Amino acid sequence: MDYARMRAIAEDLGAYAERLEGAWRVEIGPSGPVLAMRCPSKRRAGIVRRVREQLDAQLLSTLPGHICANGPEIEHPAIGRMRHPDAVVIPEATLDEEGLAVDATQVLAAVEIVSPSGPSNDYDEKLADYPAMDIPYYMIVDPRTGTIQVHSDPFKGRYSSKEPYIFGDSVQFGPWTVETSEFRRYGRAVSGARPA
């Protein structure tokens, strides 16, 4: 199936998802368009916010005109993929362009926070798709295990570098540093609070 047809199906699925209860996302993966329910988590949202705030503060000096955004879909029609990262580093101006998705060639970094129930999408499919899209940096944050992986240097459709970290580390993510001491694992209480 050609990408234009897959994109049309994805748009129809997106319109259908808007009528459903809960949070849904549409992506185009290796087997075509997929409608998947999101597993919202306060801790997941907290990590996304912390990553975005830290990267935005550093982007002011490292790459003026760029932001860390959550929400935009990214697509690469040449390889037939459309993904919805938890956060991306992109030129701010791309959010004012026409269309539904950001061209993946504009994306400098992608961040995924592993959901409590579906790690394979981030560790397998997106770990294959993001280097194929030539995205320079990909960070996987896993609140299930308290671990982080930073992938970089895409070469022939794969990342040639992988650096492991744990929650509490200062994570080198491309030209930026992400402090993770306030990241929280799923199911772990925080000083008297009930688990999320």
Residue 195 scores a pLDDT above 50? no
Could you give the CA distance from residue 125 to residue 118 in angstroms, rounded to a whole number? 11
The pTM (predicted TM-score) of the whole model is: 0.80
Joined together, the tokens standing for residue 138 give 């990909």
pLDDT at 194: 44
Joined together, the tokens standing for residue 148 give 């982080």
Exposure string of 47-80, with b = 16+ CB inside 10 Å and e = fewer, is: bbebbbebbeebbeeebeebbbbbebbbbbbeeb
State the average pLDDT for the chain.
Answer: 84
pLDDT, tens digit, 9 for 90 and up, residues 99-151: 888 999 999 999 999 987 777 778 988 999 999 999 999 999 999 999 999 99
pLDDT at 82: 81
Could you give the CA distance from residue 29 to residue 136 in angstroms, rounded to a whole number? 19
- Quickly list DSSP for the chain: --HHHHHHHHHHHHHHHTTSSS-EEEEEETTEEEEEE----HHHHHHHHHHHHHHHHHHHHHSTTEEEESS-EEEEGGGTEEE--SEEEEEGGGGGSSSSEEEGGG-SEEEEEPPSS-THIIIIIHHHHHHHTT-SEEEEEETTTTEEEEEEEEETTEEEEEEEEETTSEEEETTEEEE-TT---TT---TTPPP-
**C-beta separation of 104 from 133 below 8 A:** yes
What is the pLDDT confidence band of residue 18, given thresholds at 50, 70 and 90? low
What is the pLDDT confidence band of residue 193, given thresholds at 50, 70 and 90? very low
Distances (CA, A) of 135 to 9, 154, 164, 189: 25, 7, 19, 35
Could you give the CA distance from residue 144 to residue 105 in angstroms, rounded to a whole number? 31
* Amino acid of residue 76: H
